[in-house]
């Protein structure tokens, strides 16, 4: 594929896939260490009431309205999970189960009672992204990267996910020390005066923002996989937090690039005629990487 084909058809989907994978992998490292890795799965259940309420308030199923509603619902959910976990003194998994099943059921109930179930209002707008469709129609080749007029035609999802990745990176850099200390020893962090509750809530809110931004572009399949697989594989490669972050980013990028290529060309290599889902293949590659590190990772024996 030459530049005239690659730039408009594959460059932006590939970049968006890579950025979405990194956005989820960065907070995923701390969620793995805190045993809260299923936060991403919980968010995929709780955005439904946000989508329905956004439609009722705006009367439109535009991406902006759906994303705002999904983000609001996700933030409410993670706050509820953290509150139930801390004040109810129950396991994080149980708290997540209570919240995401309740909110999902509530979303279905609102959908039926509001008589919007006949509208084309489905989870596609926030959960099932179509990565392959995020093409750059105004591009004609590599020269378009320097063309201001062509750059205006970039998919808006690229801008949103770029902002989220930058924001998460900045927050991790600013709060690295308190986040690391509270992750490994919450009691010690509290004795140092670190606001443990605020740090924990900030982490899950950042995770929710990453998940919702990625939902808009690539769908829940990648989101759930990237929250868990690259960080877990990185954990099996090292016992140092900084190195784990680096490994997770590398694994996330490898999964996105290799998965996207295999989705488009893999079936052709084995005699097929149609491509497969890029999101599904990226998630599959991340799972394969995790499986390899589980068998061959240098720290596999030290992880409980």
Helix (H/G/I), strand (E/B), else coil: 262: helix
Contacts of 110 by beta carbon, 8 Å cutoff, 6+ apart:
49, 52, 53, 56
**pLDDT exceeding 70 applies to what percent of the chain?**
87
Closest CA to 26 of 134, 175, 189, 218: 175
In angstroms, rounded to a whole number, what is the distance separating the alpha carbons of residues 189 and 192?
A: 5
User: Confidence class of residue 304 from pLDDT cuts 50, 70 and 90?
Assistant: very low
In angstroms, rounded to a whole number, what is the distance separating the alpha carbons of residues 290 and 227?
A: 12
pLDDT digits (tens, 9 = 90+) for 142-175: 877 877 887 888 888 888 889 889 999 999 999 9
Average pLDDT over residues 84-100: 78
How many CB atoms neighbour CB 152 within 10 A? Answer: 8
How many CB atoms neighbour CB 167 within 10 A? Answer: 15
Closest CA to 233 of 181, 287, 282, 179: 287
Choice between 7 and 295, residue whose per-residue pLDDT is larger: 295
In angstroms, rounded to a whole number, what is the distance separating the alpha carbons of residues 286 and 261?
A: 14
Residue 295 structure tokens: 């068998």
pLDDT digits (tens, 9 = 90+) for 98-142: 887 888 788 778 777 776 555 545 545 444 557 777 888 777 878
């Amino acid at each position: 594929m030459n530049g005239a084909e690659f730039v408009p058809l594959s460059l932006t989907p590939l970049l968006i896939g890579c950025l979405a994978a990194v956005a989820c992998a960065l907070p995923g490292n701390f969620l793995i260490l805190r045993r809260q890795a299923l936060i991403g799965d919980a968010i995929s259940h709780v955005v439904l009431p946000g989508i329905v309420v956004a439609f009722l308030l705006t009367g439109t199923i535009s991406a902006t309205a759906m994303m705002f509603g999904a983000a609001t619902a996700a933030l409410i959910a993670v706050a509820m999970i953290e509150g139930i976990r801390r004040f109810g003194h129950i396991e994080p998994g149980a708290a997540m189960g209570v919240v995401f099943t309740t909110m999902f059921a509530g979303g279905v109930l609102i959908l039926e009672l509001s008589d919007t179930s006949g509208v084309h209002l489905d989870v596609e707008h926030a959960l099932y992204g179509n990565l392959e469709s995020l093409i750059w129609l105004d591009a004609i080749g590599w020269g378009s990267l320097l063309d201001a007029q062509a750059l205006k035609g970039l998919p808006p999802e690229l801008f949103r996910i770029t902002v989220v990745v930058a924001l998460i990176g900045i927050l991790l850099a600013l709060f690295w020390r308190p986040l690391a200390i509270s992750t490994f020893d919450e009691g010690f962090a509290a004795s140092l005066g670190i606001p443990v509750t605020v740090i924990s809530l900030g982490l899950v809110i950042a995770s929710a923002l990453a998940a919702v931004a990625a939902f808009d572009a690539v769908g829940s399949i990648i989101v759930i996989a990237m929250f868990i697989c690259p960080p877990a594989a990185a954990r099996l490669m090292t016992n140092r937090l900084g190195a784990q972050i680096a490994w997770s980013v590398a694994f996330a990028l490898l999964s996105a690039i290799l998965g996207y290529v295999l989705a488009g060309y893999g079936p052709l290599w084995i005699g097929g005629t149609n491509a497969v889902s890029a999101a599904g293949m990226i998630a599959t590659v991340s799972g394969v990487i995790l499986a390899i590190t589980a068998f061959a990772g240098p720290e596999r024996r030290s992880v409980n």
